[in-house]
Structure formats: structure tokens, C-alpha cells
Amino acid sequence: MDIIKELSQVIKISCTSDAIRLFDAMFRKINFSTEILSFNGVDNLYAFRSSALANRASALVSRTSAPVNSAFESEACASASEAHASALVNRTLLFLGHADVVPVGAGWTRRQGYLADGCVWGRGAVDMKGAIVCFIEALKRNPEGNVAVIISGDEEGTAEFGTPAVLAHLQSERRMPHVDFALIGEPTSSSYIGDSVKVGCRGSLNVSATAHGSAGHVAYPQFTKNAATAVIQFLNHVDAHMRTVHAGDCHLEITSVVADSGATNVVPAIARGGFNIRFTKHTSAEQLEAEITQIAGQYCGVEVAYEVACRPFECGFDGEGQGGWPKEGQGGCLYGSNGDRVALNENMNDLANEYSVGLANENNNGLLAKLVASVRAATGKYPSITTTGANSDAKFVRAISSFAELGLRYKTAHQVDEHVAVSDLYELIEIYAKFLSDFFINTGY
């Protein structure tokens, strides 16, 4: 129950800096060197464990060898030890998490950090204090191997003074380790833990529209120009355009509609609306902006402004952060739900709900394949591969390492009564622990 106690404790801490310090103590307790790095008043945690793998080889041999009863068996054990040692590699795994959370809000039916109905309740239980605690528990089972950890204090906000600032600081001081693979603990699971592994992100375009009209009495609309009507019609037009022209590639959600004339019998002269579009690599932000601007031109008085929050990207599985999927002949493969190999193709986003990626890729030593195998070992099922979901700090590490996101179920993230099932925590621990166990072994599955 230590994990329940630790998660409840960190959930009860609403101050991000205090949560960072609690995580700092947790990592120091398992023999990590830690450092709290502050940028523009934002605290972040950097923790690192540099460990020789000789003891790991001995442990492997002790688990697989029979008692030594003869000189012959002694020689056999020595041979096995050498084989295991040669199979171990000094890779470095980077784990990314964040301690900051969105505001708690009102209307909760459970106290923060409360254990009830087989769940731990509170802001950050899912996104993503829970996954950090799970990773710490998995590290306890795997005490050796090079592991770097960045716990950001600025992921839910501007994301300027968290992970990117830590990476830049470490690089400027020549302390940034070579990272072979990055694991991000964002909530990616849906129906069960591990059913989805995220290896990229859709683009995100924020659009704000302002309609200018002329105020007047609602009883005499012929002498007015209703700004609210204009902005609503514009929003509906863009939404319909996305659903038809960009069906499957784009998803639009209206985020705000504001119009207040100050009285119930006055037509508003100004109205504002906002929306967000998530788009795949098959569409560009510039293309969307041009189309939306053209639509706005059909509505007199409507002005639009754009902010590209994120451009679409996918994991550079070649280990060089260049993005894109490995082609056939380079070790890439897909696995169907029954485990059968399926030819890899360029349209993997379209296959995200049908197949998962094994990626026995020679260039990255099959590290993503090891993660997929870890999910399979813990759940009995293969995960799907996807680039859907929310934006994350993955965009900051894609230039230095291959990566994947895998965490808890996202259903209650950012909601009132956010909670995580205790059984989900233990399931994620098993996946993380299996991945850590296999990560430093230079073999296949």
C-alpha cells in the first residue's frame, strides 16, 4: 500500500513546488542524484541514476543457473555469466513527467487524495502524478541501469519553463546524457491500461474570431447588424467545412462564444468566438489558415487571428529524431490484435485503431518493440499505436531521442472527481517494471 500512501500524499499537495520537493525526496530515497532547477520562478526536478550493470548480470545468472556442484557446472555458470554480461548494454532511459496540474475547481464529491471505492481521488491522480509514482515503484524493482528523469513544473501552462528549459540548461552545461529512448507518462490508456501507446501528436491550431456589427433595438433588426449572429454563422460554417473537406484529418471544437450587449433588448455590436483544430500531418496549419480566412471573408465584419500551438509530429524511430515511420526493409512491422505481422505502410495513422507497432527496428535496437512486448506481457494484449490525444512534452524530446507515451486511463483527466483505480496503478507498475527489466538487455523480445 506504499504506492497508495505516496500518491495520496502528493495529490494533497496543491503547490507545484512542494510537489516537486516531495518527488525529489522519493527519488533520493531510491538512490538517484537529484537537482531542483528553477526558471522564471518555476521549479523542476532533474534526477539521474548512473549504474554499472555488472551486478545485473550476476543477478541474471543467479536466477537462471542451478547450484554449482562440480567444476564442470562452475565453468558453465561462468560461461553463462559472460553471455548475460555481453547481452547487457549501457543504454539511458529518460522518463518525463509533470507535477503541475490544472485547477481543482468546485463540485467534488471526494476529498483530495482520498481512497474510496477502490480508487484514489484528486487532481493529478491521472494527469499525471499517478504515473510518476508508478514509475518510482517500478524503479524499486529494477535498481540498476542508467535512468534520467525530468519532472516539469510547467506542462499544463505555457510549457516554457519546464522540460525545454531543463533540457537547454543541461545541454549548456554539457551534462545532458545521451538518451536512447524517452518514456512519457501521460495518460494514454482508454478501456484498459496499456491499450494505447502514443508515438506522436497531431497539430493544434487555435483560432479566435471577432465580429463587428452595429447595435440597436431587437425589435428593429433591419436597422442593426447582429455581431452574435455573424460569429455563430461563421463558426458553424468552419465546423461544417472541417467535417466535409477535412474529414478524418481534422477535428474542430468550439471553445468560446461571447456576446453581451448589456441588455436583453439590444443587439450586440461585438461578438467573439474561439475554436481549436487538431490536425494530422496530411494537413498544414498554413492551409487551414488560408481556408478559414477565405470563409471569414464571406461574413462582413469578421476578423480572425491564429496561434499554432503545435505542429504535427511523429516519433523518429531511427533514433535521430527526424520523424516518420520506418519503411519496409528497415525492420519495421505492424502487429495485428492476434499478434500476426502485418506489412507497415505510410498510412499508419489511419490504422491506429486496428494495429499496433512492434517495430523490431535495428536502428533503435527494438526499444519500442520492448515497450509493446511489456504491455503484452502484463495485459495479454497488444496496444494500438496512435498520435491522437492531447499535446505533451514529447515535442521537446523528439529531436534527441525516439519516444513513446504510455500512462493511465485519461477518461477523468482534468474533470471534477478525477480518480484512478488502484488496480490500474498496479497494472501500470507491471508494464513499467517489465520495460525497465528488458530495456538494458541487447536482445529481442
The count of C-alpha atoms lying within 13 angstroms of the C-alpha of 432, restricted to the half-sphere facing its C-beta, is 32
9: number of Cβ within 10 Å: 15
Residue 181 has what DSSP assignment? E
Of the candidates 188, 84, 231, 90, the residue with the CA atom closest to the CA atom of residue 403: 188
Residue 284 has what DSSP assignment? -
Distances (CA, A) of 378 to 46, 351, 357, 371: 29, 23, 17, 11
Residues designated as active site = 100, 155
Distances (CA, A) of 252 to 205, 243, 248, 275, 411: 9, 8, 11, 7, 19
Contact 405, 392 (CB under 8 A): yes
CB burial string 358-372: b at 16+ within 10 A, e below: bbbbebbbbbbbbbb
Chain mean position to CA 35:
23
- Starting from the edge strand earliest in sequence, which strands make up the sheet with 114-116, in order? 114-116, 119-121, 419-421
Distances (CA, A) of 339 to 325, 376, 381, 384: 20, 10, 9, 12
CA distance 115 to 121: 6
Of the candidates 359, 441, 373, the residue with the CA atom closest to the CA atom of residue 406: 373
347: number of Cβ within 10 Å: 10
CB burial string 106-122: b at 16+ within 10 A, e below: eeeebebbbbeeebbbb
354: number of Cβ within 10 Å: 13
What is the secondary structure of 69-105 as a DSSP string? -SHHHHHHHHHHHHHHHHHB---EEEEEEE-------
